[in-house]
A = this chain, B = another copy of it.
Amino acid sequence: MPENNECRRPIWMASGSETVQIIDQRKLPQQMRVSNLETVDDVIYAIVELMVRGAPLIGVTGAYGLYIAARNSKTDYPSDAYLTHEANRIKAARPTAINLEWAVDRTLDVVLSKQTAGERIESAKNMADLIGREEAENSRNIGLHGLALIKTISAEKGGGPVNILTHCNAGWLACIEHGTATAPIYAAHEHGIDLHVWVDETRPLNQGSRLTAWELGMKNVPHTVIADNTGGHLMQHQMVDMVIVGSDRSTLTGDVANKIGTYLKALAAHDNNVPFYVALPSSTFDRKIRDGVRDIPIELRDPDELRYIPGFEKTDENLLVPKHSPAANFAFDVTPARLVTGFITERGVCPAEESAIRRLLDEKS
C-alpha cells in the first residue's frame, strides 16, 4: 500500500520494486489486505475471484498481466506465440467487461511490435502504466461532465439535497481513481453541492453495501444503504433525483451491460421520469456488437456466491438457502438504450443514440 497508508488506487507498482500490488477487495470493508501479483496465474485468479473487479480496473490489471507474462517468460525471449497465448488466458478470465479484452489487446499490439526481450517487457509495463493513467484521467473528466448535470438538478431543486441512486460499485475501487458512477458524486461533493446517495446493496456479492458505502463513508459523502428491492419505491415517491451507474460493456447503439439488477432500476427510472445516466470511459464501448441484450456475453458465476453468506466459510450454518436448494448466479444484465437518458464519458455527455455516441467517440480519434 502507498507509504502514507492512505490508499487512493486499487492497483499500483510497489515502491522501489517491480511488483504489482492490489487491494484484495473481497474482504473490504472489514479488512484492508494487499496482495502481490507475481504470475499470470495470480492475475487470472485475482480477476476470477474478484480480488479486483470493475471494468476499468480489470482492464488495467490485464495489461499488467501481460507485463508479468513478458517478465516471467521461461525462455530468454518472450515469443509472439507465448505472449499471445498468455494474453488469451488473461482475456478469458471474465467474459462480460470489454475493457479486459481491450486493454490486453492494446498492450499486446505494442509488445509484439518490439524486437528485444527488454523492449517487450518495458513496453508492456509502460502501456499498463499508461492505460492506468488514462483511466484515472478519464474518470476525472467523467466527474467534471457529470458535475454539470448534478449542478443543474441542484439548481432546479433550489439547492436542496440531490438524491442519487447507484448500483454495485463503480467507484475508485472499480477504476483507478475517482470511479465512473461515483466520479460526478465526488466532484459535486467537493464543490459543496448538497447531495445524498442511495447505495444499492447489490446482491449476491454486496459490492454496494461493502464497497460503495465504504468509499462514500471515507469521503464523508452522505449515503444510505438499501436493499436492491427498494429503488422503485423510492422513485415512485420522488426520493430519487437521478440514477448513475457504471458499465462493463456498452454498444454503440446504446445498450448497457452492467451488474445484474441495473435493468430493473432503469425500468423504474423510466416509469417515474427519473434521469438514468451511465458513466463510462470510451474503453467500455464495444464497437463490434450492435444488439446488447442478444449478444453481450453474460457471466454465470458459482451459485454458492448466492447460497452462502458473502465472505464467510461454506458451512451449513452459513447457508442462506435450504441445503438442497439450487441457485443461479447471473452476474450482469443488459439495459436497452431506450431506458438510458445519457452516457457520461470523458469526452462529454451524450444521449443513448448511435449517431450521438459515434460523434462523441470519433471526435477523440
Q: Which residues of B contact A226 (CB under 8 A)?
A: 306, 327-330
Question: Contact at B260–A230, with CB atoms within 8 Å?
Answer: yes
- How far, in angstroms, from A223 to B322 measured CA to CA in the complex? 11
Query: Which A246-263 residues have a C-beta within 8 angstroms of B?
Result: 259-261, 263
Question: Contact at A209–B325, with CB atoms within 8 Å?
Answer: yes
Counting chain B CB atoms within 10 Å of each CB, the highest count among A316, A322, A328 belongs to A322
Contact of A261 among B210, B227, B293, B307 (CB under 8 A): B227
Query: Which A224-278 residues have a C-beta within 8 angstroms of B?
Result: 224-234, 236, 259-261, 263-265, 267-268, 271
- How far, in angstroms, from A202 to B260 measured CA to CA in the complex? 15
Question: Contact at B230–A330, with CB atoms within 8 Å?
Answer: yes
Question: Contact at B320–A209, with CB atoms within 8 Å?
Answer: yes
Given contacts A271-B267, A309-B309, A333-B232, contact A322 B213 (CB under 8 A): yes
Q: Which residues of B contact A217 (CB under 8 A)?
A: 322, 324-325
Given contacts A201-B203, A217-B324, contact A227 B228 (CB under 8 A): yes
- How far, in angstroms, from A224 to B321 measured CA to CA in the complex? 10
- How far, in angstroms, from A236 to B203 measured CA to CA in the complex? 19
- How far, in angstroms, from A224 to B300 measured CA to CA in the complex? 14
Query: Interface size (A, Cβ < 8 Å)?
Result: 59
Given contacts A232-B264, A263-B236, A267-B232, contact A325 B223 (CB under 8 A): yes
Question: Does A192 make an interface contact (CB < 8 A)?
Answer: no
Question: Contact at B263–A325, with CB atoms within 8 Å?
Answer: no
Q: Which residues of B contact A322 (CB under 8 A)?
A: 29, 210, 213-214, 217
Interface 0/1 of A204-226, CB less than 8 Å to B: 10100110011011000001111
Residue of B nearest to A227 (CB): B203
Question: Contact at B232–A263, with CB atoms within 8 Å?
Answer: yes
Contacts beyond the supplied A229-B261, A229-B333: 13 A-B pairs with Cβ under 8 Å:
A204-B227, A210-B320, A224-B328, A226-B328, A227-B260, A229-B260, A230-B260, A232-B263, A233-B263, A233-B333, A236-B293, A236-B334, A264-B264
Closest A-B pairs by Cβ, 10 of them: A229-B261, A233-B333, A267-B267, A213-B325, A232-B263, A203-B227, A225-B327, A264-B264, A229-B260, A209-B321
